[in-house]
């Protein structure tokens, strides 16, 4: 059997042991599974409470609160992925990790790109609103033109 | 009771749509009457309509695409002839009708011509090339097809009942909002695209799963044929991009139906956001169409050059780079809409970069032919024609990617020429190359070559004339979507493009004649071995047409070009592979779920368009009940006994052995 053949056979094995998100190994002991969910629940609740706490107390410097909430939100996603969706770095999870990375990449591209494009266009194209505080804006007061594009 | 629907909806006062609609309705009713009276209905129901076989679904997709391509082409004929008459005159199409025609042309060609054709080829070829028996979710596949057909039906219904959108193929707000488009045209657009979009999304999920999880033993990723790679990339793009379209059109529907203000430009709405989101789907969509097309060309060029694909791994890398980069260029569709220089600059650079992997592909195809024994069959001619014309389209694309040039050329006929240049030469030529290439596999006989070549030469000549004239008209300053014009300089070039469309009509006629002639001469054109082109990938390892289970035993793959390796060994030793141990095969049962779901989806769409709320609710309940019935089914599969498998496979082995002995005798002589 050549090297390439072995690689092919290995590839096949990997596929047969591939797990979908949420799929459990059949033989896993139930107590361990429940413990995992309970740890996840505790962490998720803790993160939620922290988010509420920093808004209602003065532990965090006020302008930094949105950043802190963002960080808690990202940590929350991590907890969900690890404890509830069982995304791991194991070989049986390559497809799931790839799918997650793919999804995150495209969401970042589309959402980030849209925010950037729209803020840029609003600055260039929007007629100055009565309430808009743009003291140094050179935007002329012109009616919005009908866009032309391909 | 019937919402907005009254007799007024039927265009009795407009002769052109009325006559066209009457002819279409008469043809459809005639075909249905013939099917019923000749007793073909049970066969059609059993073997095609309820079939979940990927090959049958693929053929139905291609058939739908062929019919809709003719429908879209007739719109093109109307536009060209209108322009031929509308010099310092009104022409024969009133503006509100002309606007519907160019909108319908774009929608039909993209969503119901190009998409079903590429998805049809994927459906037909990918499982065969992977060496497996079906796609991952066969019934879902049938649902996908019928939902696409439902969308196509709604678009065509707008010809006879009501009107179609007058907004262009992307319904740009605020024009598409209730204030400026109070009719049902935009609603037809929205529901047709939403329903078929659900089908497309499910196809994407189906094919990602199939390609990632279901391959013949030993078929690692880097041993997959190129078409499977491009199908994977296109399916990934479908999964990532189509939800954006669905969400955007859903927001526009909320604006129109419930008075929301997402894109209204009043009460805080922003129409620019529609453009942004639409093209965030729209540019990946270009590659959803183009990538499978590149895959078809890769297969055809490699087969007819008698050589493995040159630099296979660079081709894989180029495909996946395009998959990623296609999500970084969408702003180039609205350079002139107001983004600043920095935003335009970044997207201009990404738009130019995406031409690089495409260029790599062109060189790979050229080097595949280099030193090979090129056979100039009609499938190969389409591929060569693609390479020559596509390079021009790509070059004008790079030109348009430069924002200052785009400011001059945007919305001109130059742009129209550019995107037809790339879409026709990539997607349509690939569709015909793939159609000719896989036809014998699907039906067991080849298409007539003479008429195929005639179709190619008329098609490409007409195409170059029409769009060559368009490039020039764009440089002369003609903008797109004009109903009439009075510039003397444009007149000769518009007549040239009208002549071009006549040449293209000849090409379309040749394609139809080719099919008729081929069916009549099918015994002469019969493909007895299952390998008519001396192919290299696994679809040629089975009979033509393949048995329902595709392969008697799943082939073992030991390298790239799985079938070529098997065939070379057989030719060396002058004997076939060892006969496999035949085992019974389980295949999915037929299901009417797809057809019934689509029936209810059509009801929902039609009812929503005409504000017939009770019918929409009834359709929704019906669709849900169909799902419940399907979910509670008891038997999923049926078994084909081993003896039957053996019988089918031995018949194919006999003809292959005869062909092999023929080679042996020639070698001895």
Percent of chain B past pLDDT 70, that is, above it, reads: 100
Whether residue B246 lies within 8 A of chain A, CB to CB, comes out as no
The span from the CA of B266 to the CA of B649, in Å, is: 68
pLDDT band with cut points at 50, 70 and 90 for residue B401: very high
- Report pLDDT for A24: 58
pLDDT band with cut points at 50, 70 and 90 for residue B47: very high
Helices (H), B476-591: 491-520, 562-573
A118/B272 CB distance under 8 A: yes
Regarding whether A27 and A55 lie in a shared domain, the answer is: yes
pTM of the shown model? 0.91
Regarding whether A79 and A26 lie in a shared domain, the answer is: yes
Regarding whether A54 and A99 lie in a shared domain, the answer is: no
Whether A139 is in a domain gets the answer no
pLDDT tens-place string over residues B504-561:
999 999 999 999 999 999 999 999 999 999 999 999 999 999 999 999 999 999 989 9
pLDDT band with cut points at 50, 70 and 90 for residue A123: confident
Whether residue B270 lies within 8 A of chain A, CB to CB, comes out as yes
Return the closest-CA partner of residue B496 out of B468, B530, B520.
B468
Regarding whether A75 and A55 lie in a shared domain, the answer is: yes
User: To probe the interface with A, which of B215, B233, B272 has the most A CB atoms within 10 Å?
Assistant: B272
Whether A103 is in a domain gets the answer yes
Whether A26 is in a domain gets the answer yes
pLDDT top residue among B189 and B21: B189
Task: Give the closest-approach CA distance of B617 to chain A in angstroms.
Answer: 34
Is it the case that residue B283 has pLDDT exceeding 90?
yes
Task: Give the closest-approach CA distance of A44 to chain B in angstroms.
Answer: 28
Residues of B that are catalytic: 61, 71, 75, 79, 102, 123, 134, 141, 144, 148, 200, 203, 210, 283, 285, 287, 298, 314, 358, 361, 418-420
Cα B105 to Cα A97, B68, B156: the distances in Å are 41, 10, 11
Is it the case that residue B22 has pLDDT exceeding 70?
yes
Regarding whether A56 and A35 lie in a shared domain, the answer is: yes
Residue in the block written with tokens 């139930």: A30
B338/A5 CB distance under 8 A: no
Q: What residues have CB less than 8 Å from B332, skipping those under 6 apart?
A: A150, B283, B347, B348, B351, B400, B401, B406
Give the 3-state secondary structure of residue B585: strand
Task: Give the closest-approach CA distance of A14 to chain B in angstroms.
Answer: 10
Cis omega (within 30 of 0) on the bond before B289? Answer: no
Task: Give the closest-approach CA distance of A93 to chain B in angstroms.
Answer: 13
The span from the CA of B541 to the CA of B539, in Å, is: 5
Q: What residues have CB less than 8 Å from B643, skipping those under 6 apart?
A: B582
Domain extents for chain B? 337-519
Structure tokens given for B497? 């493009």
Whether residue B338 lies within 8 A of chain A, CB to CB, comes out as yes
What residues are paired with B587 via a beta bridge? B638
Regarding whether A41 and A102 lie in a shared domain, the answer is: no
Regarding whether A94 and A80 lie in a shared domain, the answer is: no
Tell me the chain A residues in contact with residue B338 when contact means C-beta distances shorter than 8 Å. 120-121, 124-125, 147
In degrees to the nearest 10, what's the CA dihedral of B167, B173, B176, B177? Answer: -170
Regarding whether A95 and A40 lie in a shared domain, the answer is: no
- Report pLDDT for A21: 60
Give ∠ CA B594-B595-B597 in degrees, rounded to 5. 65
b/e per residue B26-51 (b: at least 16 CB within 10 A) = eeeeeeeeeeeeeeeeeeeeeeebbb
pLDDT tens-place string over residues B177-234:
999 999 999 999 999 999 999 999 999 999 999 999 999 999 999 999 999 999 999 9
Give, for B588, the enclosing helix (H) or strand (E).
strand B585-588
Residue of B nearest to A18 (CA): B213
Whether A106 is in a domain gets the answer yes
- Report pLDDT for A27: 54
B338/A109 CB distance under 8 A: no
The span from the CA of B470 to the CA of B480, in Å, is: 10
Is it the case that residue B173 has pLDDT exceeding 80?
yes
- The Cβ of residue B623 has, within 10 Å, a number of other Cβ atoms equal to 18
B337-519 belongs to CATH 3.30.420.10: no
Whether A7 is in a domain gets the answer no
Nearest to A147 among B240, B272, B558 (CB): B272
Residue of B nearest to A7 (CA): B220
Helix, strand and coil in chain A, % to nearest 5: 65, 0, 35
pLDDT band with cut points at 50, 70 and 90 for residue B667: confident
Task: Note the residue count of chain B.
Answer: 669
Q: Domains in chain A: how many in total? A: 2
Q: Note down the domain range covering A66.
A: 18-87
B605 conformational bin, left if phi > 0, alpha if psi -120 to 50, beta if neither? alpha
Return the closest-CA partner of residue B119 out of B58, B69, B196, B195.
B58
ipTM, 2 dp: 0.88
Regarding whether A81 and A23 lie in a shared domain, the answer is: yes
């Amino acid at each position: 059997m050549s090297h390439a053949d072995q690689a092919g056979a290995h590839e096949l094995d990997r596929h047969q042991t591939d797990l979908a998100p949420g799929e459990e190994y059949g033989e896993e002991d139930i107590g361990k599974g429940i413990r995992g969910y309970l740890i996840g629940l505790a962490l998720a609740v803790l993160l939620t409470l922290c988010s509420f706490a920093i808004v209602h107390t003065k532990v965090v410097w006020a302008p930094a609160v949105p950043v802190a909430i963002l960080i808690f939100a990202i940590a929350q996603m991590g907890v969900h992925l690890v404890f509830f969706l069982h995304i791991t770095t194991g070989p049986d999870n390559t497809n799931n990790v790839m799918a997650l990375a793919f999804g995150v990449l495209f969401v970042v591209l589309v959402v980030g790109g849209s925010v950037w494009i729209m803020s840029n266009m609003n600055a260039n194209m929007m007629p100055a609103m009565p309430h808009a505080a743009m003291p140094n804006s050179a935007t002329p007061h012109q009616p919005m033109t009908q866009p032309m594009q391909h | 009771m019937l919402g907005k629907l009254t007799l007024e909806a039927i265009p009795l006062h407009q002769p052109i749509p009325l006559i066209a609609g009457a002819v279409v309705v008469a043809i459809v009713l005639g075909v249905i009457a013939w099917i019923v009276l000749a007793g073909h209905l049970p066969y059609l129901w059993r073997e095609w309509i309820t079939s979940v076989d990927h090959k049958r679904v693929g053929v139905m997709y291609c058939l739908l695409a062929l019919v809709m391509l003719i429908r879209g082409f007739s719109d093109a004929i109307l536009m060209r002839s209108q322009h031929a008459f509308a010099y310092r005159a009104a022409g024969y199409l009133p503006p509100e009708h002309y606007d519907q025609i160019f909108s319908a042309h774009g929608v039909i060609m993209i969503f119901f011509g190009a998409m079903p054709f590429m998805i049809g080829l994927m459906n037909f070829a990918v499982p065969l090339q992977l060496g497996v028996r079906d796609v991952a979710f066969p019934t879902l596949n049938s649902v996908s097809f019928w939902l696409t057909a439902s969308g196509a039906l709604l678009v065509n219904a707008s010809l006879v009942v009501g009107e179609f959108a007058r907004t262009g193929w992307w319904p740009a707000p605020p024009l598409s909002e209730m204030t400026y488009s109070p009719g049902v045209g935009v609603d037809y657009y929205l529901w047709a695209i939403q329903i078929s979009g659900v089908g497309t999304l499910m196809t994407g999920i189906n094919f990602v799963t199939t390609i990632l999880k279901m391959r013949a033993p030993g078929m690692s990723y880097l041993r997959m044929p190129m078409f499977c790679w491009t199908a994977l990339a296109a399916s990934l793009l479908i999964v990532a991009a189509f939800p954006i379209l669905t969400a955007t059109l859903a927001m526009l529907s909320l604006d129109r139906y419930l008075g929301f203000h997402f894109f209204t430009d009043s009460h805080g709405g922003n129409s620019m956001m529609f453009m942004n989101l639409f093209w965030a789907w729209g540019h990946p969509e270009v590659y959803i169409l183009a990538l499978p097309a590149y895959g078809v060309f890769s297969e055809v060029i490699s087969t007819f050059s008698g050589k493995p694909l040159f630099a296979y791994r660079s081709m894989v890398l180029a495909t996946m780079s395009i998959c990623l980069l296609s999500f970084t260029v969408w702003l180039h569709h609205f350079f002139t809409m107001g983004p600043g220089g920095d935003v335009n600059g970044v997207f201009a650079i990404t738009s130019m970069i995406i031409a690089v992997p495409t260029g790599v592909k062109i060189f790979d195809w050229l080097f595949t032919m280099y030193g090979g024994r090129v056979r100039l069959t009609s499938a190969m001619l389409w591929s060569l024609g693609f390479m020559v014309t596509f390079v021009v389209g790509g070059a004008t694309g790079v030109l348009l990617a430069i924002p200052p040039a785009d400011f001059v050329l945007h919305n001109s006929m130059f742009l129209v020429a550019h995107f037809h240049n790339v879409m026709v030469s990539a997607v349509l030529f690939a569709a015909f190359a793939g159609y000719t290439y896989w036809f014998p596999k699907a039906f067991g006989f080849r298409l007539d070559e003479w008429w195929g070549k005639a179709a190619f030469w008329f098609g490409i000549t007409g195409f170059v004339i029409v769009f060559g004239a368009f490039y020039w008209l764009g440089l002369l300053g003609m903008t797109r979507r004009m109903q009439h014009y009075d510039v003397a300089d444009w007149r000769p070039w518009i007549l040239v493009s009208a002549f071009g469309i006549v040449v293209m009509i000849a090409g379309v006629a040749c394609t139809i004649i080719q099919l008729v002639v081929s069916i009549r001469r099918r015994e002469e054109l019969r493909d007895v071995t299952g390998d008519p082109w001396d192919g290299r990938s696994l679809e040629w390892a089975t009979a033509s047409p393949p048995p329902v289970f595709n392969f008697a035993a799943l082939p073992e793959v030991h390298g790239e070009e799985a079938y070529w390796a098997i065939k070379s060994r057989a030719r060396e030793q002058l004997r076939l592979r060892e006969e496999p141990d035949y085992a019974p095969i389980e295949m999915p049962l037929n299901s009417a779920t797809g057809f019934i779901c689509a029936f209810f989806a059509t009801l929902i769409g039609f009812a929503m368009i005409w504000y017939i709320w009770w019918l929409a609710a009834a359709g929704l309940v019906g669709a849900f009940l169909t799902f419940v019935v399907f979910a509670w089914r008891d038997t999923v599969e049926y078994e084909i006994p081993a003896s039957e498998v053996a019988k089918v496979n031995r018949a194919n082995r006999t003809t292959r052995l005869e062909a092999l002995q023929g080679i042996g005798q020639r070698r001895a002589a």
